[in-house]
Amino acid sequence: MGITAFLAMVRKDLLLFLSDRRAVIVAFAVPIAIGSFIGSVTNGAGRSNEPLRIKIALVDLDDSAISRSIVTGAQGDKNLNVTLAGADDARDRVRKGEVTAAVIFPKDFGDGAGRAFFRGALVQKPEMEVLFDPSRAVEVGMVRGILTQHVMESVSRELFSGQSGSRFADEALKNLESSPMPPDRKRLLKEMLTGVQRYYRDSSSASATGGTGGVFSMPYTVREEEVTSGSRVPYNGYAHSFAGMGIQFLLFAALNMGIEMLVERQNGLWRRLRSAPVSRYMLLGARAASTTVISLATLLVSFGFAMIVFRVRIEGSLVGFAMVAVACSMMAATFGLLVAALGRTPGTARGVSTLAVLVMVMLGGAWVPTFLFPKWVQAITVVVPARWAVDGLDATTWRGLGLSSAVFPTLALLAFAALFALITITRFRWEEAN
Amino acid sequence: MLEIRRLQKTFGPLVAVDDVSFTVEPGQLVGLLGPNGAGKTTTVSIIAGLVTPERGDVLVGGKPMSGDTDPLKRKIGLVPQDLALYDELTARDNLRFFGALFGLSGAALDRAMTSVLTLVGLADRAGERVKAFSGGMKRRLNLAAGLLHDPEILLLDEPTVGVDPQSRNAIFDNLEELKRRGKALLYTTHYMEEAERLADRVVVIDRGKVVADDTLAGLYAGVGEKAGGRVSLESVFLTLTGRSLRD
């Protein structure tokens, strides 16, 4: 009789789920829609090599050879979209959010940079002003790095091959005697600057006789490679977005199950179920089983769609993916039971548990990568089950890792499931005053 | 068939049921009457195995019932006060589910469903979703769900609340038929005329205690004189429980 009752309870829950069109849409269509959207705006499938084209405004108040060279370099950079502007206009454009940052090269920036290049702390360095949109702090960091490259290239080029270099070296030699530097270091610097002057003379005579002058440039080039499941396998952002959204809506499906249990209690259905000769564990277990099936279906339908439409692939262990998916569904099912055990009324339980789900998926990295969080927040995500689910699914899909990478997330998710089940068993209200 | 012995149940400071005892014999309908909060539903809940008493016994066919999975629960059918049905499922799917909880399956379940649907007059509506039913039809299906596993004892907790006179009469006819089949029925209600029509014996409970347990004739004879004027079950009830509001 036990198995008959158990299967009947699971069947009934599945029938109820499928009979509620809205629940089916929420469970299947919504995660697909949101996963598709987030995947497309984050990285999409194989589009990660596209340049960033960060919009910036440059203000050249110096108009020197060095500042013009920096502007030219920045304009030619594939990662920047540069417009020239006046100082007030640039500030206004940043405020309106039209550009990420505005960079102002003040008057005498080139001369100041040349002097500082040879004499370091002995002279005051010129100030390059960066006005930035605080909501795009990450991009500003990238702009700073890109501009540093162009400033260093332009300054060194001008100093070692342009008209200004010899003049700055002469100035540095003249001021060397009066500087407070220790004598031995002063002697070494004098030798270097004398060598630089000789370099200029030789370069000039080489030019006169058809030789070429030297130009400083970045002493390295960069070869970037996405570390994914294999060489030449591009990162597919949809894999992560569908994992995140799949988990979010799987938790929502489980939450709905918990709310339905509270509604059943209110409607007197729970009394009828309890009057049957079935154990309390079977009542809870059957509900957990049906919710696990629904949650798993939610996740698999989402990933199925992503595989067909966005070419998401399980690049790693298929068994590992299945382990994480099942463990994740079990965790969600017991979370639903927890809602039913701790909730007093459907209304209050819905509000509190919706908040709990949203916090869980946010901290789990389903919305934004966890590295954007402060360190202390990153530390506490180990107690967030959604984080293990996202990690496990990422590992077995786009990271292409083997079965071993799925073991720890699976165990963590099962541990959460056991914890939720234990709390449910101890806190479930079986008897109530009529 | 059903014997209740000295039941006691408290919820915190509230003594819901206090030393309650009575019996229900086969082919007999016992009306369990009492004001709101008197302890009727708690008593029914204890008998159905939903609530564990602190003291006392529920004997079914002379055997004490205990635990959630006691096979004796199969001899009891509960018709709860609420419409304990799944609105989104059809009448047939509701019955299939509740039947399976009592171990019914296959041809036996099909026969049982046909039998109870015919009894309550819903055989031709079995394939419709419950949400499309009227209040009276839902009440009748609620009764059918309690009868599905052919229990020997039927607990009916205010089974006619909110139904029209036609459906109420149909339910009465069903109950009288069940009495003829030898079922033991325990019936709680606030409607005195229902108890007068159906009950072979009446148990009046107030503040958790049994204050009367007799046939209608016995109650009229014993309490009727104190009630004064024309004797009715309502006047007897008010004499036994007082006129103060209980809500």
Q: What is the CATH number of the domain that holds A82?
A: 3.40.1710.10
Residues A285 and A160 in one domain: no
**Whether the predicted pLDDT of A258 surpasses 90:** yes
**Domain assignment present for A326:** yes
**Packing angle of the helix pair A318-342, A404-427 (nearest 10 deg):** 20
Beta-carbon contacts below 8 Å between A and B = 100
**Whether the predicted pLDDT of A50 surpasses 80:** no
- Gap between the terminal Cα atoms of chain B: 34
Query: Mutate which of A22, A272, A283, A284 to disrupt the B interface (most B C-beta within 10 Å)?
Result: A272
Closest listed residue to residue B22, CA positions, set B159, B236, B240, B209: B209
Q: How sure is the predictor about B141, in pLDDT bands with cuts at 50, 70 and 90? A: very high
**Whether the predicted pLDDT of B144 surpasses 50:** yes
Cross-chain residue pair A433–B16, CB shorter than 8 Å: yes
Does B81 contact A at CB distance below 8 Å? Answer: yes
Q: Which two tokens stand for residue A423?
A: 């709390």
Does B128 contact A at CB distance below 8 Å? Answer: no
Question: What is the chain A residue with the closest CA to B129?
Answer: A19
C-alpha pair distances (Å), A397 with each of A31, A325, B16, B44, B86? 18, 12, 58, 55, 40
Mean pLDDT across A360-365: 87
Cα separation, A303 vs A243, in Å, equals 8
Residues of chain A contacting residue B51, judged by C-beta atoms under 8 Å apart: 431
Higher pLDDT among residues A133 and A284, named by residue: A284
Cross-chain residue pair A267–B82, CB shorter than 8 Å: yes
Number of domains in chain A: 2
Residues A414 and A265 in one domain: yes
Q: How sure is the predictor about A24, in pLDDT bands with cuts at 50, 70 and 90? A: confident
ipTM entry: 0.89
Distance from CA of A284 to the nearest CA of B (A): 13
* φ, ψ (nearest 5 deg) of residue B207: 50, 40
Cα separation, B183 vs B116, in Å, equals 14
Residues A188 and A304 in one domain: no
Distance from CA of A269 to the nearest CA of B (A): 4
Distance from CA of B44 to the nearest CA of A (A): 11
Does A308 contact B at CB distance below 8 Å? Answer: no
Cα separation, A299 vs B83, in Å, equals 35
Mean pLDDT across A57-80: 92
The per-residue pLDDT of chain A, averaged, comes to: 85
**Domain assignment present for A147:** yes
Report angle CA A359, A362, A366 to the nearest 5 degrees. Answer: 140
CB contact at 8 A, A140 and A101: yes
Q: Cβ neighbours of residue B190 under 8 Å, at least 6 residues apart? A: B33, B158
pLDDT for the residue numbered B7: 95
Cα separation, A417 vs A289, in Å, equals 12
Of B41, B73, B104, the CB nearest to A434: B41
C-alpha pair distances (Å), A102 with each of A58, A110, A294? 6, 18, 52
Distance from CA of A263 to the nearest CA of B (A): 11
Distance from CA of B70 to the nearest CA of A (A): 6
Residues of chain B contacting residue A278, judged by C-beta atoms under 8 Å apart: 68-69, 101
pLDDT for the residue numbered A211: 46
Domains of chain B (ranges; CATH) run 2-241 (3.40.50.300)
Distance from CA of A300 to the nearest CA of B (A): 26
Residues A76 and A17 in one domain: no
Sign of CA dihedral B237, B241, B244, B247: negative
CB contact at 8 A, B131 and A16: no
Cα separation, B160 vs B197, in Å, equals 14
Closest listed residue to residue A43, CA positions, set A222, A229, A303, A226: A226
Cross-chain residue pair A19–B74, CB shorter than 8 Å: no
Sign of CA dihedral A391, A393, A396, A399: negative
pLDDT for the residue numbered B160: 87
Q: How sure is the predictor about A187, in pLDDT bands with cuts at 50, 70 and 90? A: confident
Residues A118 and A38 in one domain: no
**Domain assignment present for A220:** no
Residues of chain A contacting residue B100, judged by C-beta atoms under 8 Å apart: 4-5, 7-9
**Domain assignment present for A315:** yes
Of A4, A275, A277, the CB nearest to B69: A277
Residues A137 and A191 in one domain: yes
**DSSP SS3 for B232:** coil
Helices then strands, each counted (H, E), chain B = 8, 10
Does A271 contact B at CB distance below 8 Å? Answer: yes
Q: Which helix (H) or strand (E) holds B4?
A: strand B2-11
**Domain assignment present for A4:** no
Residues A21 and A131 in one domain: no
**Domain assignment present for A265:** yes
Residues of chain B contacting residue A431, judged by C-beta atoms under 8 Å apart: 50-52
Cα separation, A82 vs A94, in Å, equals 13
Residues A112 and A199 in one domain: yes
pLDDT tens string B225-235? 666 667 888 88
**Whether the predicted pLDDT of A45 surpasses 60:** no
pLDDT for the residue numbered B110: 95
Q: How sure is the predictor about A10, in pLDDT bands with cuts at 50, 70 and 90? A: very high
CB contact at 8 A, A269 and A306: no
Of A8, A275, A279, the CB nearest to B78: A275
Range of the domain at A168: 54-208
pLDDT tens string B112-133? 999 999 989 999 999 999 999 9
Does A231 contact B at CB distance below 8 Å? Answer: no
Distance from CA of B100 to the nearest CA of A (A): 5
User: What are the E-state strand segments in B61-109?
Assistant: 63-64, 76-79
pLDDT for the residue numbered A165: 74
pLDDT tens string A192-239? 878 877 777 777 666 555 444 455 556 666 666 666 666 666 677 888
Residues A40 and A62 in one domain: no
| pTM as predicted | 0.76
**Whether the predicted pLDDT of B108 surpasses 90:** yes
pLDDT tens string B43-80? 999 999 999 999 999 999 999 998 888 999 999 999 99
Residues A254 and A362 in one domain: yes
- The tally of CA atoms less than 13 A away on the side-chain side of residue B172 is 17
Does A425 contact B at CB distance below 8 Å? Answer: no
pLDDT tens string B152-161? 999 999 988 8
Of B76, B84, B129, the CB nearest to A268: B84
**DSSP SS3 for B177:** helix
Closest listed residue to residue A200, CA positions, set A166, A251, A170, A157: A166
Residues of chain A contacting residue B83, judged by C-beta atoms under 8 Å apart: 267-268
pLDDT for the residue numbered A212: 46
pLDDT for the residue numbered A90: 93
CB contact at 8 A, B212 and B202: yes
Cα separation, B162 vs B136, in Å, equals 8
**Domain assignment present for A434:** no
pLDDT for the residue numbered B230: 72
Cross-chain residue pair A277–B71, CB shorter than 8 Å: yes
Does A123 contact B at CB distance below 8 Å? Answer: no
**Domain assignment present for A76:** yes
Does A262 contact B at CB distance below 8 Å? Answer: no
Length of chain B in terms of residues written: 247
Residues A291 and A419 in one domain: yes
The per-residue pLDDT of chain B, averaged, comes to: 91
Cα separation, B126 vs B239, in Å, equals 45
Q: Which helix (H) or strand (E) holds B2?
A: strand B2-11
- Please name the residues between 2 and 31 in chain B that touch chain A, using a CB distance below 8 Å: 11-12, 14, 16
Query: Mutate which of A275, A430, A431 to disrupt the B interface (most B C-beta within 10 Å)?
Result: A275
Other Cβ atoms closer than 10 A to A246:
29
Of A16, A271, A434, the CB nearest to B84: A271
Residues of chain B contacting residue A1, judged by C-beta atoms under 8 Å apart: 102-103
Residues A32 and A126 in one domain: no
> A139-143, A191-195, A321-325: which has the highest mean pLDDT?
A321-325
Question: What is the chain A residue with the closest CA to B37?
Answer: A434
